[in-house]
Amino acid sequence: MNPVLVNVLCGRERDGWLNPQLVIRLLEAIADANQCGRALGVDLTIGVSPVERARNQIVTRFLKSDVTKSSHDWLVMIDCDVVPPAHFLRLIDAADQEAKFIVAAPCPMINEGGRVTWNVAHKIDERHSNFYQTLPAGWTAADHLGTGFLAVRRCVFESMKSGWFDRVPSMGEDFAFSERVRAAGFTPWFHGAF
C-alpha cells in the first residue's frame, strides 16, 4: 500500500480551529493505517496565507521528503472545517486500484448565493441533470475539483512546474490547479461513494 501524507490546513478562521469530527477521522485513519500496515504521516499547516501560498508550501515540503526512505506517494490536503468520509484511506485504495492520480472526496459547501452545493464541478448532461442534488455513483471525471479534501500522487506534482496552486484571474487556487493538471495530461476524479 502506498504511503500517504495527510496535511490539514488551519487558517485564520476561528484561530486555527480544527473541526472535532475531522480530528476523529484523522485518529480513525491512523488506526486504519496501523491495522493494514500502511505508512501514514499527519501534518498541520497553521496560519500560512494566502491559501495558494499555503498549498504550494505543502507541496514543496512533500516533494522534498526523502524518496529513498519510505517517502509518501500520496499527498492528502484537508481543510480544517471539513469532515472527511469515514475510513477515507479507502478512497486512496480505490484510486490505486483504478490508476487514478488526482482524486477528491466531494464536500458540501455554501456558494456565494447561499445555496448548498458540492465543491466538484462537472459538465451537466442528461445523465447528471440532478448533479447538485445527487452525485453520480462511482468514479466521475471532473472539470474542476475543490480542495476541501484532495488527494494527489507524487508523480503529478513532479511532472508540473512549481506554483501548482497559483491563482489565475476569476479562478480560485483549486480550480486553477485542476486546469494545470488537465493541461499536464492528467484527469481529476471524484467518487460519489465518498
Domain ranges of the chain: 4-191
Grid cell 462537472 is found at 122
CA distance 100 to 43: 24
For residues 104-120, one letter each, b for 16 or more C-beta atoms within 10 angstroms of the residue's C-beta and e for the rest, the string is bbbbeeeeeeeeebbbb
Contact 80, 17 (CB under 8 A): yes
Spatial CA neighbour of 78 closest among 49, 55, 52: 55
pLDDT number for residue 113:
76
pLDDT surpasses 60 at 126 = no
Q: What is the pTM of this model?
A: 0.89
Report the pLDDT value the prediction gives residue 28, as an integer from 0 to 100. 96
Res 130: pLDDT = 45
* pLDDT of 40 above 90: yes
Q: What is the percent of the chain with per-residue pLDDT over 70, rounded to a whole number?
A: 87
Confidence of residue 129 (pLDDT cuts 50, 70, 90): very low
Query: Which residue type occupies 77?
Result: M
pLDDT at 69 over 60: no
Q: How far apart are CA 9 and CA 71, in angstroms?
A: 21
**What CATH number does domain 4-191 carry, 3.90.550.40, 3.30.420.270, 3.40.1280.10, 2.60.40.10?**
3.90.550.40
Answer yes or no: is pLDDT of 14 > 70: no
| Residue environment code for 67-88, b if the CB has 16+ CB neighbours within 10 A, otherwise e | eeeebbbbbbbbbbbbbbeeeb
* Residue of higher predicted confidence among 145 and 126: 145
User: If you average pLDDT over every residue of the chain, what do you get?
Assistant: 86
Phi and psi at residue 157, to the nearest 5°: -65, -40
